[in-house]
Amino acid sequence: MSVASSSIHFILLADESAEWKVAGLRQLDRVARAVNEFCSDRQGARLQIVWKLGLAVADWEMPPTPHVHIETVKMAESHLSGACLLSTHLLIDRGGMASLYNVSLTSTAGSASSDLSWDDLAESFRSWSVQHQNDNRLWRPIWLKDDIARAERDFLRGAGKSQDGLVSRFLNRPISRSVTRFLLRYPISPTQWTVAIFVLPVISFFLLQLGDYGAILLGTALFQLFSILDGCDGEIARAKYSESEAGGRLDHVCDQAGNILFLVGLGLGLFHRYHPATAGLFYWREAVLCAALITVHELVLGFSRRQATVVSAGLTPALYRRHRWMIEHSGIGLFGEKFVWWLMQLTKRDVSILAFLFLVMADLPQWILHLWLTVTLGGIILTGMATLRARRNRVGTV
């Protein structure tokens, strides 16, 4: 069956595994949401759920699936010809349904005749999954409850973002995934987690402003912890299909507010450490200036997000949308894709915060202000160049 078909038909074989909770969702809910996500740009899609004989299904509530019609039918009422056969034993990664659909799974159901039993189809699916389970890592079968822990770990390895920096990939994500696995056992929403961990930069602010070595070190360590745990809300959202623009905006606002609190707290701490020497006042003013410039820069980039386009196949996945606009119009791409990639990687938030911790350990906290201000000024220059070039291009096309 062609993916471009106007009507896509799925048959989902459901048994006791439908109630297994994996990474925060029941298996039946996850498969239904995966099908719904896959059918978001298609018309007439339907999912027929066929339960194993003898199982009670009255308590199951339909998940929100606006792009696919879901119905529970008996085996004799299912339409097998050309249908894509699925099972609640299948753990599907986000975006994995498209790859799964393209592995000729329809031929298994399409060749079935109407006199096949539920067990016959289940065995057919098991044979297919054994044959194809090593094709890629976007789906995996879970036959026993004892397999859930391993399947969750594999599933969450794909819960990161393509924009993750080097530190996030090799340090932050491994830690945040372990925390997320624990959090997914409870009804914690991504927004609740975003708000809950914001206490960390607040505590960090009060420690930093004390100014002594131990307080600044502890405050910076808490800020590093905030950076690590900040990945959990996105991992929860992607695992539960609960992403939202409002949640993304809240996460970004909390990140920037945390940055401001850290800068102001560190500026006050250095002021107290060096007061009444001139250096104390200088560091305080540098911190306030940097915080103000970051705020202005983020507002400008936020306004420019809707104008973002694809930069290049190699760079686009690694850049946030607001940065793609800046890279595209500033002209920095003339230095080459590799140069831009490394420049963005080394100035990402995760890399910077870990570098800040090392600077504090070396008792050089003032260099945090110097480096942060330098990077912020560089970003503002690039944004200014991008704004002028984009405006000039618009005028030239009128």
Candidate from 239-243, 312-316, 356-360 with smallest mean pLDDT: 312-316
Question: pLDDT tens for residues 81-128?
Answer: 778 899 999 999 998 898 888 875 554 444 444 567 888 889 988 988
- Report the pLDDT value the prediction gives residue 305, as an integer from 0 to 100: 52
What is the rounded end-to-end Cα distance, in angstroms, of the chain? 46
The rounded distance, in Å, linking the Cα atoms of 179 and 211 is 31
- Report the pLDDT value the prediction gives residue 106, as an integer from 0 to 100: 59
Residue 316 pLDDT exceeds 90: no
Question: pLDDT tens for residues 221-256?
Answer: 999 999 999 999 999 999 999 999 999 999 999 999
Q: Which two tokens stand for residue 104?
A: 């000729």
Strand partners, 70: 47
Residue 1, H or E segment: none
